[in-house]
A = this chain, B = another copy of it.
Amino acid sequence: MRSYDQYCAAARALDVVGDRWTLLIVRELLLRQPCRYTDLRQGLPGIATNLLADRLREMEANGIVTREVAAPPVATTLVRLTPRGEALRRVIETLGEWGEPLLRETPPGAAFRTYWLALPLERYLTDHEADRPPVTIEVRTGDDPVLVQTADGGAVRVRPGAAPDADATIQGSPRLVFELLMGEVELAAARKEGLEYHGDPAVLRRVQRVAVDDVA
């Protein structure tokens, strides 16, 4: 990208991360670091392979990312964020916070990866009964499932994986699953629209976000 050539911190930041795809590459790395070129590609539906290669080169030159050749058995190069790249987490979070209302008007066919839920869920969800034994919810939206788990201090953690013995299981479209967990839809209503929930509803309520009603 051409520099804006302005003595302004925001403009300088955009010189470095304002290119198309760059911040989404950072998002992927925040979620799946360290990862291979191919992993990045499948986590960035729509990116052209040459663009990904270009961006990684630029990001490496800008000190956001490093590449390392993995040990012999793996024999692949892994991409990882530098501390400076990690610091972009706050930028992604702030952008996500601003963009959240736009999710409602996102077309149903939009691409999705279940592990993308980690950023918003870990940010907004809390364990409302932190003194009780931890629970695990398996979430499936079509691709690889993730586990939503209560952790120490009332935190909620999301990690890839399945658990046959999960306390509850949620399956449905990305939108239904997300809006359910975010407390924007009732379980009954979500079920009517095709969402499947197995397990004690109390498990869901334990982590579900308390609805923020902007209606007075």
Contacts of A18 on B, CB cut-off 8 Å? 18, 20, 23
Contacts of A7 on B, CB cut-off 8 Å? 103, 106, 110-112, 116, 174-175, 178
Contacts of A92 on B, CB cut-off 8 Å? 10
Contact A14 B23 (CB under 8 A): yes
Contact A6 B112 (CB under 8 A): yes
Known: A90-B94, A95-B91. A12 touches B112 (CB 8 A): no
Known: A20-B18, A24-B4, A94-B90. A103 touches B10 (CB 8 A): no
User: Closest approach, in angstroms, between the C-beta of A71 and any C-beta of chain B?
Assistant: 32
In chain A, residues 155-171, which have Cβ atoms closer than 8 Å to a Cβ of chain B?
none
Contact B91 A98 (CB under 8 A): yes
Copies, count: 2
User: Closest approach, in angstroms, between the C-beta of A113 and any C-beta of chain B?
Assistant: 8
For residue A5, CB closer than 8 A to chain B, the reply is: yes
Size range of the interface on A?
A: 35 or more
For residue A16, CB closer than 8 A to chain B, the reply is: yes
Contact A102 B15 (CB under 8 A): yes
User: Closest approach, in angstroms, between the C-beta of A14 and any C-beta of chain B?
Assistant: 6
User: Closest approach, in angstroms, between the C-beta of A143 and any C-beta of chain B?
Assistant: 12
Contact B14 A95 (CB under 8 A): yes
Contact A5 B107 (CB under 8 A): yes
Contacts of A5 on B, CB cut-off 8 Å? 45-46, 107, 109-111
For the complex with contacts A7-B116, A90-B98, 7 further pairs of A-B residues with Cβ separation under 8 Å are A5-B107, A6-B111, A9-B95, A9-B99, A10-B27, A10-B92, A17-B98
List the 10 shortest-distance A-B pairs measured between CB atoms, nearest first.
A13-B99, A12-B102, A9-B96, A9-B99, A12-B99, A7-B110, A10-B96, A94-B94, A13-B95, A7-B112
A residues bordering B, Cβ < 8 Å?
A: 1, 4-18, 20, 23-24, 27, 45-46, 87-88, 90-92, 94-100, 102-103, 106-107, 109-112, 116, 119-120, 174-175, 178
